[in-house]
Amino acid sequence: MAKIIGLPKLSPTMEEGTLVAWTKKEGDQIEVDDLLAEVETDKATMEFRSFDRGVLLKILVSEGETLEPDVPVAIIGKAGEDISDLLAKVEAGATTAPAAETAPAKEAESATRAEPAMAEAEPAAPSAAEPGLRRDGERILSSPLVRQLARERDIDLRHVRGTGPQGRIIKRDIESYRGPGAAVARAPVGQRPEPRVEKASSMRRTIARRLTESKQTVPHYYLTIDADIGPLAEAREAMNAALEAQGEKVSLNDLLIKAAAVALRRVPEVNASWIGTEIHHHQVVDISVAVAIDEGLMTPVVRDADRKGVAEIAREVRDLAVRARDKKLQPEEMTNGTFSISNLGMFGIEEFAAVINPPEGAILAVGTIRTEPVVQDGAIVPGRRMRFTMSCDHRVIDGATGARFLAAFKEIIENPLTMLL
Spans of all domains in the chain: 3-121, 125-189, 202-420
Contacts of 98 (CB under 8 A, 6+ apart): none
Q: How far apart, in whole angstroms, are the C-alpha atoms of residue 284 and residue 280?
A: 11
Beta bridge partners of 30: 54
CB contact at 8 A, 57 and 81: yes
Catalytic: 394? Answer: yes
For the chain, 421 residues long, the average pLDDT of each consecutive 10-residue run is 86 77 90 87 79 90 84 90 86 54 36 34 36 58 73 80 74 76 52 78 81 94 96 95 94 97 97 95 97 87 96 96 87 92 95 96 97 87 94 97 98 94 81
Which 3 state secondary structure label does DSSP give 274?
strand
The answer to whether the beta carbons of residues 42 and 202 sit under 8 Å apart is: yes
Catalytic residue among 159, 220, 280, 394: 394
Domain 125-189: top CATH class: few secondary structures
Fold of 202-420: Chloramphenicol Acetyltransferase (3.30.559)
Q: Strand, coil or helix: what is 40?
A: strand
pLDDT of residue 294: 79
Nearest partner of 267 among 361, 404, 393, 414, judged by Cα: 404
CATH ID of 3-121, from 3.30.750.210, 2.40.128.30, 1.10.10.10, 2.40.50.100:
2.40.50.100
The model's pTM: 0.63
The size of the chain, in residues, is 421
Residue 139 is predicted with a pLDDT of 67
39 residue type, one letter: V
CB atoms within 10 A of CB 178: 7
Nearest to 226 by CA among 360, 393, 370: 370
Cα separation of 411 and 321, whole Å? 28
Residues 6 or more apart from 94 whose CB is under 8 A from it?
4, 72, 100
Sequence-separated contacts (24+) of 134-141 with Cβ below 8 Å: 139/91, 140/169, 141/90, 141/91, 141/166, 141/167, 141/168, 141/169
Q: How far is CA 386 from CA 240, 310, 344, 349, 369, in A?
A: 21, 20, 12, 10, 5
Alpha carbons 351 and 348: distance in angstroms, whole number = 9
pLDDT of residue 123: 35
In this predicted structure, what is the pLDDT of residue 167? Answer: 73
Q: Is 202 helix (H, G, I), strand (E, B) or coil?
A: helix
Q: How far apart are the first and last CA of the chain?
A: 67
Q: What is the SS3 assignment for 205?
A: helix
Buried b (16+ CB within 10 A) or exposed e, 99-125: ebeebeeebeeebeeeeeeeeeeeebb
Q: Which runs of E-coded beta strand occur in 50-141? A: 54-59, 66-67, 72-77, 134-135, 138-139
Q: Where are the beta strands (DSSP E) in 210-346?
A: 220-228, 272-275, 278-281, 287-289, 291-293, 296-298, 301-302, 339-343
